[in-house]
Amino acid sequence: MTLDTVRPDGALLPPAPATGWALVLPLKSLALAKSRLGPFAGPHRADLALAFALDTVTAALACPGVSRVVVVTGDRPAGERLAALGALVVGDEPGGGLNPALAHGASYARALHPHAPLAALSADLPALRPAELARVLAAVPATGRAFLADSPGFGTTLLACAPRAALAPAFGDGSRARHAAGGAREILLPDVPSVRRDVDTGEDLLEALALGVGPHTTAAAAALARTGARPA
């Protein structure tokens, strides 16, 4: 089932401009998301995963030049929360993991606006700043594909392509090398830490908190702190 153009209250989402970026974000079922946070967050893991996505989508929608945010998820309650922010939620995941989900979302976004540039963005960027994301998108070349490495330098937080190029996502462990080997150009911008700092572990979360996270992650982290959890 697709929650694509309808809010939970039944209201139709307004059409977005045909120009501007379409961003595709993947979100696992919250019961499975962020498993590496489990030893640190315990029962708060799913709440944190949802908070990360809510803050990421909020910042992405506030980014100049972004027309659409498409979230691919099979988690209906999470999808409804994200749709309420203004995201288009594609609920009919194709199966097969992260990259098929991103390819599915990219096809959906392309069907809406075939001439818009397209990017896949990690959904666990709770410190994301709209201005920093705008700088990264502005650095994408007019043709071909480009990517931004994560903070440790081994993964990828953003993969972008021009309107007539295929996205060809290859996310996962070691994706920086795979995207480079596949012909994508690396975006080498300084001072965009909020776009690089994805969160998989307790230490990652502390780094994101130091950058300054959005309100949903702030609240979820405060609830976690009351349990006396320490990063692991």
Q: What is the pLDDT of residue 84?
A: 97
CATH number at residue 42: 3.90.550.10
Q: What is the pLDDT of residue 231?
A: 58
Q: What is the pLDDT of residue 226?
A: 82
Q: What percent of the chain has pLDDT over 70?
A: 90
More confident residue, 44 or 195: 195
Q: What is the pLDDT of residue 1?
A: 32
* Span 209-228, pLDDT tens digits: 999 999 999 999 999 888 87
| Residue 16 domain flag | no
Over residues 53-77, the mean pLDDT reads 96
Place of tokens 């080498």: 188
Put simply, whether the predicted model's pTM sits higher than 0.85 gets the answer yes
Tell me which residue of 1, 133, 139, 154 sits closest to 58, measured CA to CA.
133
| Residue 12 domain flag | no
Domain of 217, in residue numbers = 21-225
Q: What is the pLDDT of residue 95?
A: 78
Q: Is the pLDDT of residue 180 over 90?
A: yes
pLDDT bracket for residue 119 (50, 70, 90): very high
Q: What is the pLDDT of residue 17?
A: 42
| Residue 65 domain flag | yes
Tell me which residue of 88, 73, 70, 80 sits closest to 33, measured CA to CA.
73
| Residue 74 domain flag | yes
Q: Is the pLDDT of residue 47 over 70?
A: yes
Q: Is the pLDDT of residue 113 over 60?
A: yes
| Residue 51 domain flag | yes
More confident residue, 123 or 4: 123
Give how many domains the chain has, as a whole number: 1
Q: What is the 3-state secondary structure (H, E, C) of the chain?
A: CCECCECCCCCECCCCCCCCEEEEEEECCCCCCCHHHHHHHHHHHHHHHHHHHHHHHHHHHCCCCEEEEEEEECCHHHHHHHHHHCCEEECCCCCCCHHHHHHHHHHHHHHHCCCCCEEEECCCCCCCCHHHHHHHHHCCCCCCEEEEECCCCCCEEEEEECCCCCCCCCCCCCHHHHHHHCCCEECCCCCCHHHHCCCCCHHHHHHHHHHCCCHHHHHHHHHHHCCCCCCC
Q: Is the pLDDT of residue 18 over 80?
A: no
Over residues 198-202, the mean pLDDT reads 95
